[in-house]
Amino acid sequence: MMSAGSRIPLVQTTVNFVMDMVGEAGAMFRPPILTIQSQVGFNLVNVASDSDKFAGIVKDVNPSWAFHKAHVHRWISDFGVGGLRLDSVNNIANYEFVRSYKEHAIAVYQSKHNNPPSSKFLVIGEELSCPLDLIQTGCLNALWNEPFQARIRAAIVGEFDKDHDHGFEDTVRKMVDCRNDANHPFWDGAQAVNYITSHDTQGFRKERLYNFLSNNRVVDMERRAKFAHALLLTAVGIPMIFAGEEFLDQHDRDMSEKQIDPVNYERISQDWRSRIFDYVSKLIHFRRSCPALGDNDTDFFHVDSSRGGKIMAWRRGAPGHEPVVVVANFTDYDTPGNEYFVPNWPEREGGDWREVSKGRTVPAEWVGREPLMHWEVKVYTYWKESW
Question: At residue 356, does pLDDT exceed 90?
Answer: yes
Question: Taking 60 as the threshold, does the pLDDT of residue 52 lie above it?
Answer: no
d(CA 290, CA 28): 18
Average confidence (pLDDT) over 17-32 = 34
- Regarding whether 131 and 25 lie in a shared domain, the answer is yes
301 shares its domain with 287: no
Q: Are residues 318 and 208 in the same domain?
A: no
Amino acid type, 4: A
- Other C-beta atoms lying within 10 Å of the C-beta of residue 8: 19
- Assess whether 271 and 317 both reside in one domain: no
Q: State the pLDDT at residue 36.
A: 56
Distance CA 54, CA 356 (A): 63
Cβ-count burial 67-86 (b if 16+ within 10 Å, e if not)? ebbeebbebbeeeebbbbbb
11: confidence class by pLDDT, cuts 50, 70, 90: very low
Of the pLDDT bands very low, low, confident and very high (cuts 50, 70, 90), residue 184 is confident
User: Domain range holding 249?
Assistant: 17-293
**CATH (domain of 138):** 3.20.20.80
> Is 311 a domain residue?
yes
Q: Which residues of 225-250 are buried (b: 16+ CB within 10 A; e: fewer)?
A: bbbbbbbbbbbbbbbbbbbbbbbbbb
Q: How many domains does the chain have?
A: 2
Confidence of residue 38 (pLDDT cuts 50, 70, 90): very low
What pLDDT sits at residue 241? 97
Write out pLDDT tens, residues 123-138.
999 998 999 999 999 9
Do 225 and 318 have their domain in common? no
Please give the pLDDT value at position 59: 64
Mapped onto helix, strand or coil, the DSSP state of residue 227 is helix
Task: Say yes or no: 366 and 239 in one domain.
Answer: no
* Residues 119 and 268 reside in one and the same domain: yes
Q: 356: Cβ–Cβ under 8 A, 6 or more apart, which residues? A: 282, 283, 286, 324, 379, 380, 381
Percent of the chain exceeding pLDDT 90 equals: 74
N-terminal to C-terminal alpha carbon distance within the chain? 30
Is residue 361 a part of any domain in this protein? yes
Judge whether residue 341 has pLDDT over 70: yes
| Cα angle for residues 275, 152, 140 (degrees, 5° grid) | 105
Within a domain: 9: no
Average pLDDT, the chain: 87
CATH number at residue 336: 2.60.40.1180
Q: According to the model, what pLDDT value does residue 5 have? A: 40
Q: Say if residues 195 and 241 touch (Cβ distance below 8 Å).
A: yes
On whether both 276 and 361 belong to a single domain, the answer is no
185 and 243 share a domain? yes
Answer with the one of 236, 261, 293 that is the final residue of a domain: 293
DSSP 8-state class, residue 30: P
Q: Which of 272, 293, 314 is the last residue of a domain?
A: 293
Task: Examine residue 386 and state whether it is found in any structural domain, yes or no.
Answer: no
pLDDT at position 248 over 70? yes
Residue 10 within a domain: no
> Is 344 a domain residue?
yes
Residue 12 has pLDDT above 50, yes or no: no
Q: Cis bond leading into 116, ω under 30°?
A: no
Q: Is 4 a member of any domain? A: no
Residues 95 and 222 reside in one and the same domain: yes
48 — pLDDT class (breaks 50, 70, 90): low
The dihedral formed by the CA atoms of 8, 151, 187 and 89, expressed in degrees to the nearest 10: -90
| pLDDT for position 7 | 47
The last residue of a domain, from among 293, 313, 329: 293
> Other C-beta atoms within 10 Å of 298: how many?
22
What are phi and psi for residue 372, nearest 5 degrees?
-120, 135
Is there a single domain that holds both residue 272 and residue 327?
no
- 361, β-bridge pairs: 354
Residue 58: pLDDT band by 50, 70, 90 thresholds? low
Q: Tell me what the mean pLDDT of segment 316-332 comes to.
A: 97
The reply to whether 53 and 154 lie within a common domain is yes
